[in-house]
Structure 1
Amino acid sequence: MSEWKDTEVGRIPASWKMGTLGEISSLLTDGSHSSPKISQSDNLMASVKDMRYNHFDFSDCKTISDDDFEKLVKGKCSPEYGDILLSKDGANCLDIIFVYKQSEKIVLLSSIAIARLEKGYNPDFYRYYLLSPQVQDLMKNNYVSGSAIPRVILKDFKNVPVPLIPLVTQNSIAEVLSSLDDKIDLLHRQNQTLELMAETLFRQWFVENSNPEWEERPLSSIATFLNGLACQKYLPQNDVDKLPVLKIKELRNGITEDCDWCTTEVDEKYIVENGDVIFSWSASLMVKIWDGETCILNQHLFKVTSDEFPKWYFYLWSKFHLDQFIAIARAHATTMGHIKRGDLDEAMVLTPSEDEINEMSAHFEPVIDKITVNNRQISKLVAFRDTLLPKLMSGEISIDTDE
């Protein structure tokens, strides 16, 4: 008898039985299909735009009234601890799947599906399984419809094939992958702390205790803000001489398997390396030290560099003016808010002497360097996890258990 068998999601051990997500779920639903009125309250209403790799970012989350909130909770539009949440429409359709483990009580809009598993099924294991390349390919090829706004019909989730393997095996696989994610999360949290330290010190020196003799200059004069390419005009000619395209989506969520690709035959100034400062000036405005793999800069993003000033200086000044830029972008009566180069000219910075800059660098550079080192370690861990994931989910690599 063969030790392997073929299924919809590829080759798996012959001993593994297959079922469906619907069969192992006690609840498979989605969020509200109506849009409650926004109200000033503590009642959070999340949509797919608030989802990140393994959590919700509530910083821009909408709030609703007590009555609407309670109605949606009763309508099972609220996730419980341990539910699997899946992005079911929009630009990130199926890209983001995580197990809800946050303390906040929230309700969801219909762009998010909720799978509550029966006892005996580890949600962390099945979350990783749903993120594995073979299952992602199956779902995107068979379930996703719509070109302008990709979406999955809720009932299709019930048909997703899943392995029915012993709980002890589920737990062991989930533990291995979770340990890698925990290390990645720790490094991200360290970076958040480092960012806060740098921003606090920056504000103390340049806002609270600034020197009135320091020269005032436009932000645009202290660095080069290089706009990216229209990468669709630079398609790769083969499968070797190519790099992923860095768009706003990738800047926020990282490079994924379904990203666009660009030929490497472009001016090297458009190549983005881990540690470069990237400024999204359209749609979702943000300033970020890139923490991913080598890629090509797309339009609507600036790569920020300077031959005159250190990285920390132009990075923190760009972040300092970010809230102002976001307000300007929102004021534009367009479908996609943005800022113009003229806004960079009007954003002013303070310029200490060269000696003072050098003294400050002794405090800031170790922080920025540590962030970059952490980012590179994150990239290595992510690559290892993404290599290991499909091998574990297909049974190519097995984990010894006591059972």
Structure 2
Amino acid sequence: MSADNNVPKGWVETTLGLFPEQWKIITAENFCIKIADGTHNSPKKTKEGKLLITSKNIKNSKLETSSAYNISIEDFTEINKRSKVDKWDILLSMIGTVGEVCLLNNKPDFAIKNVGLFKCGDETKAKWLFYFLISKIGQNYILSRLSGTTQKYITLGELRKFPIPVPPLQEQVAITKILTAFDDKIELLQAQNKTLETTAQTIFKEWFVEEAGEDWDRVSLGNSELSKIIGSGLTEFRGEKIYLATADVQNEKIVNTETFITFNKRPSRANMQPVLNSVWFAKKGSVRKVLMFDLNSKEEVEKYILSTGFSGLKTTNLSHYYIWLFVFSKEFQEIKDNLLSGSVQADINNDGIKNIMIPKPDNNILEKFNNIVEPLFHKIQKNNSQIQTLKQTRDTLLPKLMSGQLRVDEFKESAVC
């Protein structure tokens, strides 16, 4: 230890904390080729043209383009004079939810508005900056530089002055290779899950939509031997639960488990208790706000409570995947949209759900269907478990690797496999 400042030998104190003495701290404008922030104007929407990406389109390190709109080629060209985006650039949300980061690893074809643009020029620098910006050190620094009271934002000047820790190139390459290996494996498993889901949906549509038996009875989605609406309210208990609102669910995945509610008695407001073999969907909005509890343990399921923004259906072992794929289907979304009511915000109520009539295949058909699709969902569940483990390991390593607390030669890449 140094007698003067208690800094360990081989380390230096910086504006970002302690870093190895071989690392340099340089500003983003010196690390990058260019830093810009897109147009400040509001180009008109057009039916055709090029996409305009704003801060709200950057979520969970990805571009969400479903809410983006087209602008004219003329506006697109004008914006790109200032802030043309290229492969290996980094985008950062600058207003609203500030600090969402996206790495462009493919050639882009859109313009940006009020989005921070870090032009890196090559893969290694882009990946290093990306992982630093999403790390706890990077995110904490972003939060410390925010302006605004009603709506938070970060200025272009702050982005340019952003301090970036830079290790020797060889270490930079090795660290990004390790972190990329985790993300590549996660993306591979996610792509496999998408294929498995699509396969199950295709089978469902062929069996129960396109070739449904004319002699099949039709029964209530919310009150039949196939499925029944789960009532609201919880029995009295003490303890802590993970509270899930519809905003905490995206693409049938739980994306936020940070909200806890502690109960010492029966809650005063009605909440929804998931149970094994249950299917849940948001009463408002997208069909993708759906959850399934099937292969979980009873203890795992009972960790959660759901907001009254969800409706729940208790299914049987035989009907579970049939009901899940129906709730997940385009056909259900269309039926739900037609039943929506409410002057302020559209909402489907329990009576509406009970009035949805679905085909009732006989048990032999359901059993054959389950024999085909159940292994697909088991594989999805296994992949999801592996994805969760990979994410936890990556997130544990990320701050240590990006601060030099864990040097590359101390880590074995076999841990990724």
Partner of 1:354: 363
Identity %: 24
Range with bigger deviation, 8-17 or 217-226 = 217-226
Range with bigger deviation, 346-355 or 269-278 = 269-278
The Cα shift of 1:138 comes to 2.7
- Structure 2 residue 137 is the aligned partner of structure 1 residue 140: no
Partner of 1:261: 260
Match 2:283 to one of 277, 281, 284: 281
Would the alpha carbon gap of residues 103 and 254 (structure 1) be closer, same or farther in structure 2, given more than 3 Å must change?
farther
Query: For the Cα contact (< 8 Å) 2:22–2:168, is it kept in 1?
Result: no
The Cα shift of 1:329 comes to 9.4
How far does the alpha carbon of each residue in 1:119-154 deviate from its partner, in whole angstroms, 9 at most, with x for none?
A: 79611111111111122123224426445x443333
Alpha carbon RMSD of aligned pairs, Å?
3.6
- Structure 2 residue 414 is the aligned partner of structure 1 residue 396: no
| Larger-Rg structure | 2
Segments of structure 1 that go 5 or more residues without pairing to the other structure are none
Match 2:76 to one of 54, 69, 85: 69
Residue 46 of structure 2 aligns with an amino acid whose one-letter code is S
Partner of 1:208: 210
SS in 2 for 1:15: coil
Distance 2:341 2:70 in 1: 22
How far does the alpha carbon of each residue in 1:211-268 deviate from its partner, in whole angstroms, 9 at most, with x for none?
A: 01112223333445559899xxx9xx9xxx65554334432285469x4333376889
Query: For the Cα contact (< 8 Å) 1:275–1:372, is it kept in 2?
Result: no
The Cα shift of 1:174 comes to 0.8
Partner of 2:413: none
Query: For the Cα contact (< 8 Å) 2:341–2:348, is it kept in 1?
Result: no
Distance 2:305 2:374 in 1: 26
SS in 2 for 1:128: helix
- Structure 2 residue 98 is the aligned partner of structure 1 residue 93: yes
Partner of 1:345: 354
Distance 2:94 2:180 in 1: 23
What is the TM-score when the length of structure 1 is the normalising length? 0.82
Residue 334 of structure 2 aligns with an amino acid whose one-letter code is Q
Query: For the Cα contact (< 8 Å) 1:289–1:372, is it kept in 2?
Result: no
Distance 1:197 1:298 in 2: 31
Query: For the Cα contact (< 8 Å) 1:145–1:151, is it kept in 2?
Result: yes
Segments of structure 2 that go 5 or more residues without pairing to the other structure are 3-8, 411-417
Partner of 1:368: 377
Distance 1:379 1:272 in 2: 21
Residue 185 of structure 1 aligns with an amino acid whose one-letter code is E
SS in 1 for 2:63: coil
Partner of 1:81: 87
- Structure 2 residue 34 is the aligned partner of structure 1 residue 27: yes
Distance 1:124 1:43 in 2: 26
Residue 93 of structure 1 aligns with an amino acid whose one-letter code is V
SS in 2 for 1:152: coil
How far does the alpha carbon of each residue in 1:333-360 deviate from its partner, in whole angstroms, 9 at most, with x for none?
A: 64x5554444433433211112221121
Partner of 1:50: 57
Residue 111 of structure 2 aligns with an amino acid whose one-letter code is V
Would the alpha carbon gap of residues 267 and 372 (structure 1) be closer, same or farther in structure 2, given more than 3 Å must change?
farther
Query: For the Cα contact (< 8 Å) 1:277–1:288, is it kept in 2?
Result: yes
Partner of 2:189: 187
Query: For the Cα contact (< 8 Å) 2:318–2:370, is it kept in 1?
Result: no
Range with bigger deviation, 388-397 or 57-66 = 57-66
Distance 2:388 2:263 in 1: 21
Would the alpha carbon gap of residues 381 and 243 (structure 1) be closer, same or farther in structure 2, given more than 3 Å must change?
farther
Distance 1:165 1:13 in 2: 8
Query: For the Cα contact (< 8 Å) 2:92–2:116, is it kept in 1?
Result: yes
Would the alpha carbon gap of residues 219 and 175 (structure 1) be closer, same or farther in structure 2, given more than 3 Å must change?
same
The Cα shift of 1:275 comes to 9.9
Query: For the Cα contact (< 8 Å) 2:186–2:387, is it kept in 1?
Result: yes
Query: For the Cα contact (< 8 Å) 2:222–2:313, is it kept in 1?
Result: no
* Structure 2 counterparts to residues 282-361 of structure 1, below 5 A: 282-289=284-291, 295-307=304-316, 309-320=318-329, 321-324=331-334, 327=337, 334=344, 338-361=347-370
How far does the alpha carbon of each residue in 1:279-336 deviate from its partner, in whole angstroms, 9 at most, with x for none?
A: 23335552444799965433423455424754311211111245426855999764x5
Q: What is the count of residue pairs matched by the alignment?
A: 386
What is the TM-score when the length of structure 2 is the normalising length? 0.79
Query: For the Cα contact (< 8 Å) 1:227–1:301, is it kept in 2?
Result: no
* Structure 2 counterparts to residues 147-162 of structure 1, below 5 A: 149-162=151-164
